[in-house]
Amino acid sequence: MTFVDIAPFQLFTLAFVSTLLFYSGLVGYLTYVHRGVRATYRHLRSQAVPLGVIGGAVTAIGLWGSMTWPITEIQNGTNVLAAYNILFFDPYLMLGVVLVSFAACVMLRLQTQYAGVLAAFTGALSIYYGLDAYRLGLTNDPMVMLFLYAAMGGTAILTFPVTILIDRMVVDPALDPETPGESSTPLTLPWKVSFGAFILFLLFAAGSAVLALAIGGGALAPHLSSPP
């Protein structure tokens, strides 16, 4: 079995996703405040395209890795299938499914909160994978790996309340022909709580992007200098 070294690419795709989520969330909020519901919905559909494309690539790589188990390691002089196949490809595949589901919901004019539920479970499982990997001492720097899995997992979990906010404040009003173009949302307690979750979502997304870029950049030179 041939090992195809795609670890840096996987890390960079995680950085792409996190950066896109952070940027689209920030721009979406500013668009909602200054231009209203319909402009925000157009923005939402625009960002769904690159998310869906990246999600398709992530899903394909995750499926390939989950089915072929390309990573091996030496144990007592023998190549054996490594636990890294589970650690690196299972959460990656789940992420791809979430991205494709969210993009499909937006493009088909459906509510996004069901993709948000899937994202929340994926995030919880990713954190669980990271904790187990840290406990077993996998990778050269288990603590940094744990931070990355926790940051990505936290971003995914916070996606659920954000999608509820998107459905209530953007999707449903935008599809209602009687909704005015400008926003007029009262600052009620549920809105304030949802806005707090949105702020946390942006922070986790930014942290995930920084960690993925740092780890991916650090892994690139060693992987280029020692190809499989």
User: 207-224: per-residue pLDDT in tens?
Assistant: 999 999 998 887 766 666
Angle (nearest 5°) at CA 171 between 119 and 183 = 125
pLDDT at 110 over 80: yes
pLDDT score of 150: 97
Q: What is the pLDDT of residue 14?
A: 96
Of 31-40, 73-82, 141-150, 163-172, give the lowest mean pLDDT range: 73-82
Q: For residue 138, give the 3-state DSSP assignment.
A: coil
The half-sphere exposure of 228 on its side-chain side, counting CA atoms within 13 A, is 11
Q: 124-171: per-residue pLDDT in tens?
A: 999 999 999 999 888 888 999 999 999 999 999 999 999 999 998 899
- CA atoms within 13 A of residue 218's CA, in its CB half-sphere: 10
Where residue 79 falls (left for φ over 0; alpha for ψ -120 to 50; beta otherwise) is beta
The pLDDT-based confidence of 1 (bands split at 50, 70, 90) is very low
Question: Residue 31: how many CB atoms within 10 A of its CB?
Answer: 21
Q: What is the mean pLDDT of the chain?
A: 87
Percent of the chain with pLDDT over 70: 84
For residue 2, the model assigns a pLDDT of: 47
Domains in the chain, start-ordered, CATH in brackets? 7-218 (1.25.40.600)
